[in-house]
Every structure is written in C-alpha cells, then in structure tokens.
Structure 1
Amino acid sequence: MSANAPRGGQSADEMIAEARKAFFVMFGFLAFVWAVQLANWSGGYALSRDFGVVSGDLTALPDIVTAPFLHWSWAHIESNSGPLFIFGFLAAYRGVVRFLGLSLLVAVTSGLAVWFFERGGADTVGASGLVFGYLGYVVVRGLFDRHLIDTLIGIVMAASFAYLLTIAVPGTPGISWLGHLGGLIGGLVGAWLFRDRRPRRDRPASAPPALAEGPRADLHKELGDLGLL
C-alpha cells in the first residue's frame, strides 16, 4: 500500500475520484428534484398531495421514499437546495455507494417519525429531512471513522449551521420538526452503521518512529498523511 494513502485504504487519487463522483451525483440529484418540482407545479402540486407522508395512513407509508423529492412551493425547494447540495456532497465524497445507503436510511427514519408522531393529518413533503440527516452524519462521521479531516469538517459544519437545530424543535409554524428530528437521528445512526470497518494500515513511512506508538498514534498518523509530520 502506498505510504501516502489515507487510513481506510483510499489513495489521494481515489479520494479525488470519489469527490468528483459525489459532485455529479448531487448535481444530478438536485436537477432531478427541480425537474420534479416543475412537473409538480404545473399540475397544481398534485404530486405533493398524492405522494406525501400522512401520519397513520397505511396507504401513505410507501410515500416516505417519495416525499423527499417533492415540495409545496418554489420558496420551499429554494430553501432546501443549498444545504442539500453542501451536506450531500460532504456526506458522499468518502464513497457514493455508502452515501446512497445513508440516503435511504435517512428518508426512512425521517418519514417514519412523521408517519408515527405527526398530528392533524398534515401532508408532509420536502428534502429537509435529508438535509438534517446529512448534517448529522457529517458532524459525527469523523469520530466514528477516527479521521482527522472529517472530524474537523464536522466541527466546522456544527459551528456554522447550529442555527438549523432551532427548526428541529417544536414550535416553528408550518415546519415538520418531526421530519427534521427523524432525519437527524437517521444521520447519526448512519454514521455508526456505515463507519469504516477496514483494518488500519501501517504507519506512514514519513512518520517519525517515536510517534508510531502511544496514546496519540492515531493523531500522528493523520498528521503524517497530511504531510504535517
């Protein structure tokens, strides 16, 4: 294995290739969501009425996987698109296949939270559950994978977007906080389920022998990977 390969087995070239795939996956995903919105708008939002999640309605239970692609207005989709792309890309750049599994998990946990606990028969749609799921995943992924760069990214994202948590609690009119909370929980669970289980590689050749062992060996290994040792 190359000495400059990050822990987990990916070389720098492989990481760049995955990041490129992640960019195009998220670009394609957003393009699809906007195309669906155009069709939904032209039909008077019939798609949102027919394929949204309605709590306690057994016929609506399969719609937990379609609801994230639908929105109620142009303002609704615009508010979701930026965070969806940012967090989606950060969640996907370590592996698109793992990202697809995470997306399904988050859609299910977000949809089930609405289906079980929402009151009033509201028809819930929107990608915000995915946004919160990706955010939760990105914030804690580095801790489970023990990866320095991802941990730092998680800290920055948590500090920059902590205000989003204010709409994941009860009391915001017209907002499905249950869908947000369910998505966030799905992202946190996904970070553990999809954590990197591959064995650690040997220390980088560039790392000083004295740093190869000890309580901070993992940190030193990461710094060596980054060329900081």
Structure 2
Amino acid sequence: MGLAGQAGQPPPTRDEKWPGWKVGGATILTFVALLYLIELVDLLTGHSLDRNGIRPLETDGLKGILFAPLLHADWGHLVANTVPALVLGFLVTLAGMSRFVWATAIIWILGGLGTWLLGNIDRCPLGTNHVGASGLIFGWLGFLLVFGWLTRHVWQILISLAVLFIYGGILWGAVPALSGCGGVSWQGHLSGAVAGVLAAYWLSKPEREARRRRGAATPPGPLG
C-alpha cells in the first residue's frame, strides 16, 4: 500500500535542466560520434565521400567548405583528431553554448574559405583535396588562446594558459616551413587558427564594450 502525500502540498519537483558543462559535453561527444559514423559510411562506400573536400580555387570545390570538417582520409586521421576535438571543443562550450555555436560557425566558414583560397600554396607536390576536422580544432585552439584575455574573465584566462601549455605545440602545424610533406594541410590549420582568433574578438564584444563604458564613467583621479 503506497503512502499518500500530505494534503495541500504539491508533489516534489526537481530541476530537469542540465548544467552547461553537461550540455557542452554531450554536444561534443555527439559531434565526434557523428564523425565516426560518417567515416564508417565513407569506408563502406569506397571512400566516395572524401571527394567532397575543399578543392582550392575550384568553383565545385567550394562545397567542401561545408563538408570537409566532417570527412577524414582514414581511421588513423580521425583517431588523431579525436582527443583534441573532444578537449578543445568542450572547453569552448564553457564560454556558453551560444558562443560555442557562433564560434564554430565562424571557424567552419571562414577557416574553410581561407583553405579554399590558400590550399594550392605548397612547396610539396601534394594533392589539393583538403579534408579533416583539424582546421576546426585549430580554430577552437585559437579561440581559447585569446578569448580569456579579451573578456578578462579569470577562469577563461586560466583555460587559455592551460591550453597553451598542453596544446600550444601543435601550432607549429600551421607554419608552412615546418609542416613538411606528407599530406598535412598547414593551410587549413592556419586558416582555422586565424578564424578562431577573429571569432574570439567578435564574440568578446559585450565584455570589451562594458569595460570601455566603465572606463569612460570612471572620474579622473586628483591632480598631483
């Protein structure tokens, strides 16, 4: 026999809303799972999807701006991108899901456009079909490195320092002379990183303007 609640009192309720870090974690896990699903489909279709990468300066290659971050050359390529995507993508979500979506969109489009414009510049006789999420990863990295300093949020600055310490070394992958041959798209890395910095600047505008207003409202100190 069940126990009845006290008369006149509503049944207990609980807050069903997930905290931001859970939403961010679920979002990034879902995105990476999607990458694995797409790579499986690509494998089963004889890598037919890979032809939808960014082909620089070709009109038909513009569609690769939308598809390239979802495609990978093989499982090894995808596995190499998995941990940085999970870590850096999750850290960007901590700036807020709205900012994460906008930052990702800016990096995706501007980084892809930069790759389309620069992708044929290379000292090695490599193919010019650019695929992989590394441009997006470099964009998230660039965003994280500067966003905290622009907003002056202490915890975001700490994230910037931690990211620089742990992942700063991969920035060498955006330097043409050091990327070497072997299929590394330094153009995609560089374009993504620049797009990430631009995204951080644009999306930190509310904090920068609030700081400017506070500075304008502060009366001058006494004359010496």
The TM-score with structure 1 as length reference comes to: 0.77
Q: What is the distance in 2 between the residues matched to 1:40 and 1:75?
A: 14
Larger radius of gyration: 2
Partner AA of 1:25 in structure 2: T
* Counterpart residue number, 2:190: 181
Query: What is the number of equivalent residue pairs in this alignment?
Result: 186
Partner AA of 1:47 in structure 2: L
Map 1:87-106 → 2, pairs under 5 A: 87-106=88-107
Q: What is the distance in 1 between the residues matched to 2:166 and 2:127?
A: 34
Identity score, percent: 31
| CA distance 1:175–1:104, change in 2 (3 Å) | same
* Counterpart residue number, 1:191: 200
Unmatched 5+ stretches in structure 2: 1-14, 121-125, 212-217, 219-224
Cα distance, 1:196 vs structure 2: 5.6
Unmatched 5+ stretches in structure 1: 1-12, 201-212, 214-229
Structure number with greater CO (CA < 8 Å, separation at least 6) is 1
User: Aligned to 2:72, what secondary structure does the other structure show?
Assistant: coil
Q: What is the distance in 1 between the residues matched to 2:77 and 2:38?
A: 13
Q: What is the distance in 2 between the residues matched to 1:121 and 1:57?
A: 14
- 8 Å CA contact 1:110–1:178 kept in 2: the answer is no
Cα distance, 1:121 vs structure 2: 5.7
Map 1:18-33 → 2, pairs under 5 A: 18-33=20-35
The TM-score with structure 2 as length reference comes to: 0.78
Q: What is the distance in 1 between the residues matched to 2:32 and 2:194?
A: 23
* Counterpart residue number, 2:131: 125
Cα distance, 1:135 vs structure 2: 0.6
* Counterpart residue number, 1:114: 115
Q: What is the distance in 1 between the residues matched to 2:89 and 2:72?
A: 18
Q: C-alpha deviations, 1:43-91, integer Å up to 9, x for none? A: 1111011x10001111121220211000010000000010001000000
Partner AA of 2:30 in structure 1: G
Instruction: Name segments (4+ residues, structure 1) moved above 2 Å.
Output: none
